[in-house]
Amino acid sequence: MNWMKKSLRCFVPLFLWLLVSSAVQAADPLGEEGDVTLAPYFLLEGTGTALESFPLKETDVSVNINGVIAETYVTQVYSNTGETPINASYVFPASTRVSVHGMTMEIGDERITAAIKEKEEARQEYERAKSQGKSASVLEQQRPNVFTMDVANVMPGDTVRIELHYTEMIETVDGTCRFVFPTVAGPRYASPTVPASMKTDQWIASPFLRNGTEPAEQYHITVNLSTGVPISDLVCSSHEVAIDWKAKDSARVTLANPQEYAGNRDFLLSYRLTGEDMGCGLILTPGEEENFFLLTMQPPERFDAATVPSREYLFVLDVSGSMDGYPLETAKELIRNLVTGLRTTDRFNVILFSDETVPMAAISLPATQDNVQRAVHFIDMQFGGGGTEMAPALNTALALPVQENTARSVITITDGYLSGEKEIFDLIRANLNTASFFSFGIGSSVNRYLIEGIAKAGLGESFVVTDSLEASATAERFRSYIESPILTDIRVSWQGFDVYDVEPVNLPTLFASRPVTLFGKWRGEPSGSVRITGMTGNGPYVCEIPVSQATVRPDDQSVRYLWARKRVERLTDYGCSDTDPSVKAQVTSLGLKYTMMTPYTSFVAVTETVRNKTGQADDVKQPLPLPKNVSELAVGEGYTVGSEPDGLLLLLPALLAAALCSHTDYGRKGRRFL
């Protein structure tokens, strides 16, 4: 119990320090110079701005799914019920695969279609309109799955409606289509060692509501599903829904209890398409200037591997503050299932990380019963606390001695609540010759950009586990994937079909039973055939699709946007450096040409009339709810504490919990491994 005594001794001076500094933090959470702390903080009543003054009153999500392509409209309604003009800021998530290609702003009698412009130009136009007293809005991409909306000069009594329009392709794995709509961006940990380029990510310093605080906004989700073939196994695993079947191939899905707040966890909808050869085929969309195609081809059946080489598994487990409680318990159940299923010829190690990195052993151990029990005991003793320093943990794992004639796999297990994703991707790409990388996301609203990016950069697979009941089945899926890849050495050739600008350029090993998917452009008359070859455990694999059998959709713009999104993803998401000027030029050109959000292009809308003649307005940050089952330890640094006694008292439980899991500081900083 010495560690607890040390933590409690640290609590008294920490508490006194907070008493002195809380008023300063409340007045200016960004510091005297206005520099962001890059830390989320709790927004408490008594800080000078009542919760009801925040302008986002309603979010309405309408999704139209045609087969495996989803078209989504998100309408946000802002309303100023106060007595002074306000400028509002809001952070919200989306899927990593979306192509955002439309935005409109409606205020009073004006309806403005937003223009796509270079990011700096759009921001300058917004700031100019803001200073002139015009109502304006700007939508910016912070990550492929995180966006910020700024709305200027919302006058007293105003109702502002912002509508976003985007398209995505739904992931299909093992014959099941999985539609994911993220509803909340979880808190992001910013490392003190974050590169200087990351210091502009001011969105990370976002306010959050405390657990138990009901958001004022209403949240509605409607999905209209139409597939052309019968639908089976239509299930929503995240929310209670009402399903209105229109026919065997179409249904309308709505929230069963609209009064229950739906915006604190991912909306997860899955379904299967019955019939022969579903998901296989070629879609052609001819246009005036360019013709696009979408190719999907089902992989062969999974084979039973006759011999599987010895493997080394390095489990890198997140035990930071945001994982405390339910997520960490789910992760423990998952890793217990993973390590207990290893073969005696395998070796493994467990590396824990928060602010510190602690491996279970100096070298990987044989997967004997004694060593497996040692690992189970090692993880069972852990609790959540501290920051999320994943890069040092990966470096520690990769520095472990390599066993000869053994295939190494690195498996990360985390909620992904960190800000330095590209640092992780760069590290993984630099080590592809030594290991393959797999990722498990734990929680109801994980950072899918990181979880999916680890797998894409590492040529592996990603999994998301929302509760402990899924742990066993997910572990079994992982074992079957890694032990017997379905298709390797995949190649696509075009015979008599003039194609160009194909994405992706390279196809990795196919672990999961997911279709091979390619986007591209074509010239001339559609003729010839598409040929896909590869290797399975049973020998060569060959499949051909005659172009004459393609489905032609001349009025469908979705493939056009999906192709552009895929090209931008290759250039920016998990690949080239932000500092490469040629990449920035290419991505900016794509965004402007295809009217699409990118890291370098933004949407901006401005009213013609001057509505705020004084030019004075209060800046308001819309607070976010904590994702479901996420501990308040996820918000550790940068607390904004109310100057009134009640505000500080509200913080005491979190401080006490932080002190008990810390030996140097509170919240995100410092923890002790048992």
What pLDDT, in 10s, does the model give residues 546-562? 999 899 999 889 999 99
Q: What pLDDT score does 270 carry? A: 96
Interval 153-182: pLDDT, tens? 999 999 999 999 999 999 988 889 999 999
Indicate whether 235 and 168 sit together in one domain.
Answer: yes
CATH number reported for the structural domain that contains residue 289 in this entry = 2.60.40
**Peptide bond between residue 504 and the one before it cis (omega within 30 degrees of 0):** yes
Handedness of CA 473, 456, 354, 673 (dihedral sign): positive
In-domain check, residue 218: yes
Of 184-193, 312-321, 647-656, give the range with the top mean pLDDT.
312-321
Q: Write out the residue range of the structural domain in which residue 541 sits.
A: 281-303+486-592
Residue 651, pLDDT > 80, answer no
Q: How many Å apart are CA 385 and CA 662, to the nearest integer?
A: 7
Indicate whether 62 and 159 sit together in one domain.
Answer: yes
Interval 184-236: pLDDT, tens? 999 988 877 655 544 467 888 888 998 888 888 899 999 999 988 899 999 99
Indicate whether 158 and 235 sit together in one domain.
Answer: yes
Q: What pLDDT score does 516 carry? A: 85
Q: How many Å apart are CA 131 and CA 133, to the nearest integer?
A: 5
Query: What is the DSSP secondary-structure string of 129-141?
Result: HHHHTEEEEEEEE
The stretch 76-80 carries a mean pLDDT of 92
In-domain check, residue 21: no
Single residue among 592, 618, 639 that ends a domain in this structure: 592
In-domain check, residue 257: yes
Indicate whether 461 and 537 sit together in one domain.
Answer: no
3-state secondary structure 94-117: CCCCCEEEEEEEEECCEEEECEEE
In-domain check, residue 33: no
Q: What pLDDT score does 200 carry? A: 60
In-domain check, residue 669: no
Amino acid 303 reads: F
Q: How many Å apart are CA 481 and CA 308, to the nearest integer?
A: 12
- Please report the beta strands in 306-416, taking only residues with DSSP state E, as ranges in sequence order: 311-318, 347-353, 357-359, 365-366, 407-414
Q: What pLDDT score does 400 carry? A: 95
Average pLDDT, the chain: 83
Q: Is 644 within 8 Å of 396 (Cβ atoms)?
A: no
Interval 393-441: pLDDT, tens? 999 999 999 887 788 999 999 999 998 898 899 999 899 888 889 999 9
Q: How many Å apart are CA 109 and CA 135, to the nearest integer?
A: 13
Contacts made by residues 539-545, CB under 8 angstroms, sequence distance 24+: 541/300, 541/487, 543/297, 545/280, 545/281, 545/282, 545/295, 545/297
Indicate whether 228 and 178 sit together in one domain.
Answer: yes
Single residue among 583, 610, 637 that ends a domain in this structure: 610
Q: What pLDDT score does 300 carry? A: 78
251 strand-pairing partners: 225, 245
Query: What is the CB neighbour count within 10 angstroms for residue 578?
Result: 13
Interval 452-506: pLDDT, tens? 999 988 988 999 998 888 888 898 888 888 877 788 888 999 999 999 999 988 8
More confident residue, 647 or 66: 66
Indicate whether 462 and 350 sit together in one domain.
Answer: yes
Residue 278, pLDDT > 50, answer no
Angle, CA of 443, 374 and 317, to the nearest 5°: 25
Q: What pLDDT score does 222 carry? A: 98
Query: What is the DSSP secondary-structure string of 543-558?
Result: EEEEGGG-EE-TT--H
Residue 509, pLDDT > 90, answer no
Q: Is 243 within 8 Å of 231 (Cβ atoms)?
A: no
Indicate whether 567 and 460 sit together in one domain.
Answer: no
More confident residue, 206 or 304: 206
More confident residue, 635 or 638: 635
Q: What pLDDT score does 499 carry? A: 96
Give the lowest-confidence range in 9-23, 105-119, 315-329.
Answer: 9-23
The stretch 92-115 carries a mean pLDDT of 93
Q: What pLDDT score does 439 carry? A: 96
Number of domains in the chain: 3
Whole-prediction pTM value? 0.86
Q: What pLDDT score does 596 carry? A: 96
pLDDT confidence bin for 638, thresholds 50/70/90? very low
Indicate whether 435 and 502 sit together in one domain.
Answer: no
In-domain check, residue 492: yes
CA 408 to chain centre: 26
The stretch 269-278 carries a mean pLDDT of 75
Indicate whether 173 and 48 sit together in one domain.
Answer: yes
Indicate whether 214 and 111 sit together in one domain.
Answer: yes
Single residue among 433, 453, 483 that ends a domain in this structure: 483
| pLDDT above 70 as % of the chain | 83
Q: What pLDDT score does 109 carry? A: 83
- Please report the beta strands in 2-109, taking only residues with DSSP state E, as ranges in sequence order: 41-42, 56-66, 69-79, 86-93, 99-107
* Residue found by looking up tokens 């078209």 in the block: 71
Indicate whether 153 and 69 sit together in one domain.
Answer: yes
Q: Is 509 within 8 Å of 488 (Cβ atoms)?
A: yes
CATH number reported for the structural domain that contains residue 447 in this entry = 3.40.50.410
Give the lowest-confidence range in 8-22, 51-65, 538-552.
Answer: 8-22
| pLDDT above 90 as % of the chain | 55
Indicate whether 491 and 479 sit together in one domain.
Answer: no
Counting Cβ atoms within 10 Å, is residue 506 exposed (0-12), middle (13-18) or buried (19+)?
exposed
In-domain check, residue 670: no
* 174: region left, alpha or beta (phi > 0 left; psi from -120 to 50 alpha): left
- Taking Cα atoms as reference points, which of 593, 664, 63 lies closest to residue 356? 664
In-domain check, residue 359: yes
Query: What is the DSSP secondary-structure string of 312-335?
Result: EEEEEEE-SGGGTTHHHHHHHHHH
What's the token pair of residue 340?
A: 């207990």
* 377: region left, alpha or beta (phi > 0 left; psi from -120 to 50 alpha): alpha
